[in-house]
């Protein structure tokens, strides 16, 4: 096969660079440079300058640093404490009790963060001590937090969906709304598992909280008002067609600052810390996107994506078989790369395949995000596992085992998406989108 030599060279250089500790973005540029020099006659430097500028000057990409900044500001507020106080009275009487605050809290914060790590840290720093104090099983506390925090990748505003949309030139707003219903369905599946486990487990013997009257619960719910208002501003402005994704992100930053100021959390120190945190994260993602764009150009000159697509087409896989092959592929890839890197590194090859198979690109974006969510809780590189290890001081093996049920629920979610694609496509198809 004539495409075998480029594949071997690309993979060898990529893993050599990644294994040596080079940043992912620079590693992608290095692989692309080697490909341009070995397989084309076009000057690699000129091509790199052109494609890097084009990929990083996209207007759509401006939503990314704004949503990251919003999450950084909220991370430094009392939002997690307020969410727990507002949610816990309503969760306490459900089967599974206050463990549901992990899932619902992550779902709520995911709607104003976009980051899995920010969601995990913000909710976890409050819920873990409270649930431990009430004697809930440790594996369930850790496992639900690890799994539910990945909802930050799906429920808008999702950084992964922004990167996916920029990579394939698809509407960010439509992708955001495609993630809402699947995100809620996945959260309900997590909650159903917690309820079932609480019935069958012999270790489930938490200390119950004192009973509260309905009006006491309602009064405690006032702590949820600020974050719910922020969600309405960000998501509602896009859904009603008042704002594009970038404009909604700007509203979100302003709203997060007002919320922080109202709580007394907005100081010059927290402002600069949040700003620099957003700059660092945004620069890292922009470098990865620039490297991936250069790699896509390099691979395009070699004919590798088209060749691989033609090869897979020659296998005459059905739509379902292709999705299963991609499911296994991304699970394996996710063991070694973070989600954003996995998306931008593979889209140049995968996009022609899914277009050829007639798979909806909006739906496929949600499919990709669910699979990438699994990568957050699969060793050895599962980022959520590392964050939890730092927060709980448990061994990595204990945390990974606790997260296995959540991983399996996400696998089930993939099949739910395949069986009922309207879960992801109904909202975007009925979206009132403001013209860009």
Q: What is the domain partition of the chain in residue ranges?
A: 59-429
| Residue 320 and residue 418 in contact, taking contact as beta carbons nearer than 8 Å | yes
Per-residue tens of pLDDT for the chain, all 436 residues: 555 666 677 777 777 876 777 777 788 788 888 878 877 777 777 778 887 787 777 776 777 788 778 877 877 777 767 777 787 788 777 888 888 888 888 888 777 776 677 777 778 877 888 888 888 888 888 989 888 888 877 888 787 888 888 888 888 888 888 988 999 999 999 999 999 988 888 778 777 777 777 787 788 878 778 878 887 888 788 777 787 777 888 888 898 888 888 888 888 888 898 889 888 877 877 787 787 778 777 776 766 656 665 666 677 778 888 888 888 888 877 766 667 777 877 787 788 888 878 889 999 999 988 888 887 787 766 667 777 877 777 887 888 888 899 999 999 999 999 999 999 989 888 765 554 4
In 3D space, the residue among 424, 419, 7 whose CA is nearest the CA of residue 174 turns out to be 424
In 3D space, the residue among 236, 237, 285, 242 whose CA is nearest the CA of residue 68 turns out to be 285
DSSP state letters, 105-156: HHHHHHHHH--HHHHHHHHHHHHHHHHHHTT--HHHHHHHHHHHHGGGGTSS
Q: Is 189 exposed, middle or buried (0-12, 13-18, 19+ CB in 10 A)?
A: middle
CA terminus-to-terminus distance, the chain: 45
Name residue, tokens 């964050």.
387
Name residue, tokens 């006659």.
41
Predicted local distance difference test score (pLDDT) of residue 196: 92
Predicted local distance difference test score (pLDDT) of residue 310: 65
Measured in whole angstroms, the distance separating CA 381 from the mean position of its chain's CA atoms is: 15
d(CA 146, CA 127): 12
d(CA 236, CA 159): 18
In 3D space, the residue among 173, 140, 133 whose CA is nearest the CA of residue 157 turns out to be 173
In 3D space, the residue among 83, 117, 19, 61 whose CA is nearest the CA of residue 373 turns out to be 117
| Residue 142 and residue 102 in contact, taking contact as beta carbons nearer than 8 Å | no
| Residue 1 and residue 314 in contact, taking contact as beta carbons nearer than 8 Å | no
Query: pTM of this prediction?
Result: 0.76
């Amino acid at each position: 096969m004539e495409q075998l030599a480029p594949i071997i060279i690309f993979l060898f250089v990529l893993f050599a660079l990644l294994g040596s500790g080079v940043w992912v973005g620079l590693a992608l540029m290095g692989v692309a440079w080697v490909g341009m020099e070995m397989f084309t006659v076009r000057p690699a430097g000129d091509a790199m300058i052109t494609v890097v500028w084009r990929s990083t000057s996209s207007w759509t990409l401006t939503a990314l640093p704004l949503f990251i900044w919003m999450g950084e500001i909220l991370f430094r507020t009392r939002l997690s404490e307020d969410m727990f106080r507002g949610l816990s009275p309503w969760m306490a009487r459900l089967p599974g009790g206050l463990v549901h605050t992990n899932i619902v809290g992550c779902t709520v914060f995911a709607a104003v963060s976009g980051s899995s790590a920010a969601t995990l840290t913000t909710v976890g720093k409050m819920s873990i001590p409270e649930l431990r104090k009430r004697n809930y099983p440790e594996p369930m506390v850790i496992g639900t937090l690890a799994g539910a925090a990945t909802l930050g990748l799906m429920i808008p505003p999702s950084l992964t969906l922004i990167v996916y949309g920029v990579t394939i030139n698809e509407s960010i707003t439509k992708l955001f709304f495609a993630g809402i219903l699947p995100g809620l369905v996945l959260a309900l599946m997590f909650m159903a598992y917690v309820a079932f486990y609480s019935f069958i487990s012999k270790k489930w013997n938490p200390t119950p909280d004192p009973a509260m009257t309905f009006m006491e619960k309602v009064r405690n719910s006032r702590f949820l008002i600020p974050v719910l208002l922020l969600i309405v501003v960000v998501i509602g402005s896009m859904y009603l067609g008042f704002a594009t994704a970038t404009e909604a992100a700007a509203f979100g930053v302003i709203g997060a600052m007002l919320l922080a100021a109202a709580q007394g959390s907005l100081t010059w120190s927290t402002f600069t810390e949040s700003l620099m945190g957003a700059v660092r994260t945004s620069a890292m993602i922009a470098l990865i996107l620039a490297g991936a764009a250069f790699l896509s150009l390099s691979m395009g000159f070699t004919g590798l994506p088209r060749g691989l697509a033609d090869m897979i087409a020659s296998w005459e896989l059905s739509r379902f078989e292709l999705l299963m092959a991609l499911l296994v592929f991304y699970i394996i890839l996710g063991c070694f790369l973070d989600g954003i890197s996995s998306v931008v590194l593979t889209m140049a090859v995968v996009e022609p395949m899914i277009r050829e198979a007639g798979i909806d690109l909006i739906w496929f974006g949600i499919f990709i995000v669910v699979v990438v969510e699994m990568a957050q809780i699969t060793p050895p590189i599962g980022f959520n596992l590392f964050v939890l290890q730092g927060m709980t001081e448990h061994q990595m093996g204990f945390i990974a085992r606790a997260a296995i049920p959540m991983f399996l629920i996400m696998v089930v979610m993939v099949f739910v998406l395949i069986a009922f694609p309207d879960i992801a496509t109904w909202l975007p198809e009925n979206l009132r989108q403001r013209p860009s």
